[in-house]
A and B are shown apart, each in its own frame.
Chain A
Amino acid sequence: MAVTTPAPPTPAPSRPTARRDTGPRGLRQRLARWDVTFSPYLYIAPFFLVFAVAGLFPIVYTAYVSVHDWHLIGGQGGFVGLQNYVDVLTQPRFLTALRNTFSIFLLSSVPQLIVAIVVAAVLDANLRAKTFWRMGVLLPYVVAPVAVALIFSKMFADQSGLINTVLAGVGLDPIGWHSDPLASHVAIATMVNFRWTGYNTLILLAAMQAVPRDLYEAAVIDGAGRLRQFLSVTVPMLRPTLIFVVITSTIGGLQIFDEPRMFDTLGQGGADRQWMTVTMYLYELGWGAQKSFGRASAVAWILFLIIVAIGLLNFALTRKIASAGAATKGGAK
């Protein structure tokens, strides 16, 4: 810092010979040039250094582990090529895990985003005590996932749970929350939705507030009602934010672990693995009975590739939607 701050009092650009100077002024100038060229990179370097240590290295190292026999305590064994991947992909349990993950992901993300966007629209309206309501929707997010799981597992208990008691009270059959795969997914998705809807609502609300108000005024002059304004102005203007929310909730949804693991006391996803997700399967391979870090790493990489694939799909769809949006806008003019 101290070296670069005393900048030359008289700028040199007017003198072409200054370049050849080998004296202190030339050095100063060179430093100034370097400052402009390299400093920005230095400023952002810490992030990339941290990322390299905490992000990139584990990813690469996991790939290395995944092609070896690797025991949790015993450590590295021999090189086995893609055997771990083959082992994992041929286990029926992996497919069960994949099915569960996607099912829970869809059951949580889709209703969550729809509810979030509606709640955000309501919060965007002229309410009394705005801050109170806005902070209120974030409240569930503050509750620790483990606490959420504890409360919900009481509600979703098969024999003594609140929900089945209510169902029995109105003469319906109790639902096997811990035996039927779809019911267990719904129960887990409920916990996820409870925590994350408010979070997404606030992000969408922020985006809604950035929508220029004159668009609404124009819409009103054109005779659009509330619903029409919401569908034709708010939703299209939210598109970039929606895409962001969809991508983050996809990544989060595919990595879901806490809620399904806390859904019963054993934490292995049910006796028939009704609600075992891919990350739980990864944990079971690495830290459970098999203690195979090799296979667990293979699962980690498969999951990584799936997320990347879905990310690319998202990206492609996004571009399509974005260009389609631009085209209709152009057409409207």
Chain B
Amino acid sequence: MRITRLTAGAAGLAGLSLVLAACGGTEADGDAAAGGGGSTEEAGDITLTVATFNEFGYEELLDEYMAENPGITVEHKKAATSNEARDNMNTRLAAGSGLADVEAIEVDWLPELMQYPDQFVDLADPELEGRWLDWKVEQATTADGKLIGYGTDIGPEAVAYRSDLFAEAGLPTDREEVAELLEGDWETYFEVGRQFAESSDVPWFDSAQATYQGMVNQLPNAYEETDGTAKDLAENSDVKALYDQVLTAAVDDGLSAGLEQWGEDWTNAFQNDGFATMLAPGWMLGVIEGNAAGVEGWDIADVFPGGGGNWGGSFLTVPAQGEHPEEAKALAAWLTAPEQQVKAFISKGTFPSQVEALESEELLGQTNAFFNDAPTGEILANRAEAVSVTPFKGPNYFAIHLAVSDAIVRVDANGTDDAATSWEKALTAFDELGL
């Protein structure tokens, strides 16, 4: 009796201490080693954590880094989606602890994070000047000149098209001729669409909302002034003009397939000749290839309506809460160096943002079998150089953009409103933001 009670007590205690240890373990996870708490480590050995999402193509690079830098262990934490990574980032920034030493962020999150520059280590480094495309650096630089992220990839946009459908409609199919045909502003793109529509039943583009996204990314100050104050949407004639232009082409001229990007119907439309062209940033090529598996005829033209455009791209930041900012900064700098980014591009298709990488033979020689052996490396490098405008995206950019793009979806995809009533609803949504 006595013995059993004792053993039970001991077991209970052991269990409890196990639980406690486990709790302590997860709490201290990253910084136990970093803070010198790990007793088995030699002095000088440190562990750095790198948090990324989706595919950055860093697996082999990190092994390479560890081999080159004895004494540094790099742990890779990978989130499945960028949303997951973003929630994690926001929550832990607010909590003041728990972030990795190097955190990857998407360009879309920058505006809100730039409001808290104190949370990040200033990465500006004279030695790295000129490494990236100017506009890439500009995106991550605060008003007073602090650089909060090193650029990784970018999303230079081209036009992907179905050469077989072009042929049926009597349009040129060769990618150079198509580029010539589409060269010009958005009106040219829509005009060619009208020509196409005359001899084909297939819609010209996939979605008015996606097309609008390409258009609005060419306005330097779409929704906000450079000092961050929001423009009154009701008076915003630039945006209203794009809104009217895209909806006239989409609905009145019937050029749009009326799909919502990423929706079920959109994904399925790749398989049944849903549309003939779409705006495609570099990373979209993989998406098209996946959705349109088995469909022949996709090609990519070295052209973008209205000049160049960029959609997406990421940065590596070093949160100020980390224990080893210097080492983390060095790792981030190494990972975003041209040589490494070219390797990441070859491994996972993330298109580099480094000037030198864009000239690399390896990158320029890259072709894509799915897109009829198009020289994607060269085309995307040209597209990246054509980007001339850095759209200003302040803290309210996405809220206002959502109000407008919802309005477009209502007209183009849902058909529940006409352009005028839907715009009124967008104005109401804008007012609700209380800016």
Chains A and B are bound partners: yes
A92 near B93 (CB under 8 angstroms)? no
Q: Report the Cα distance A287→B116, complex, angstroms.
A: 17
What is the chain B residue whose CB lies nearest that of A90? Answer: B432
- In the complex, are the beta carbons of A73 and B262 less than 8 A apart? no
* A180 CB, min distance to chain B CBs, angstroms: 8
Within 8 A of B (CB), among A274-316: 287-291
Q: Contact flags (1/0) for B107-134 with A, using CB distance below 8 Å?
A: 0000011011001000000000000000
B414→A289 contact, CB < 8 A? no
Cα(A203)–Cα(B410), bound, Å = 42
Main secondary structure of the interface of A (DSSP, over half): loop
Interface string of B69-92 (1 = CB under 8 A from A): 000000000000000000100100
A75 to B119, CA, bound (A): 13
Find the B residue at minimum CB distance from A91.
B432
A75 in contact with B94 (CB, 8 Å)? yes
Q: How large is the interface on B (under 10, 10 to 19, 20 to 34, 35 or more residues)?
A: 35 or more
CB distance from A107 to the nearest CB of B (A): 20
Size of the chain A interface, CB-CB below 8 angstroms: 31
Q: Contact check, B425 vs A179: say whether CB atoms are below 8 A apart.
A: no
Q: Which residue of B lies closest to A180 (CB)?
A: B416
Q: Is A72 a contact partner of B264 (Cβ separation < 8 A)?
A: no
The residue of chain A having its C-beta at the shortest distance from the C-beta of B399 within the complex is A289
Q: Tally inter-chain residue pairs, CB-CB below 8 A.
A: 84
A223 close to chain B: CB less than 8 A: no
Indicate if the CB atoms of A153 and B264 lie closer than 8 Å. Answer: yes
- Judged by a CB distance under 8 angstroms, whether B434 is at the interface is yes
**Are A272's CB and B425's CB within 8 A?**
yes
Chain B residues 363-392 with CB under 8 Å of chain A are none
Taking CB atoms, residues of chain B closer than 8 Å to A287 are 87, 90
| A178–B119 alpha-carbon span in the complex (Å) | 41
Query: Within 8 Å CB of A21, what residues of B?
Result: none
A93 to B, closest residue via Cβ: B432
Q: Pick the residue among A157, A266, A272 that contacts B262 (CB under 8 A).
A: A266
Given A264-B260, A289-B398, A73 contacting B428 (CB threshold 8 A): no
Q: Name which residue of chain B comes closest to A178, CB basis.
A: B414
11 example contacts (A-B, Cβ-Cβ < 8 A) are as follows A73-B90, A73-B112, A87-B434, A153-B264, A154-B264, A176-B416, A271-B406, A271-B409, A272-B410, A272-B414, A288-B399
Question: What 9 additional pairs, Cβ within 8 angstroms, besides A73-B115, A176-B416, A287-B90?
Answer: A73-B116, A74-B116, A75-B94, A159-B268, A176-B415, A178-B414, A264-B264, A271-B410, A272-B414
**A interface, CB within 8 angstroms of B:** 72-75, 87, 91-93, 153-154, 157-161, 176, 178-180, 264-266, 268, 270-272, 287-291
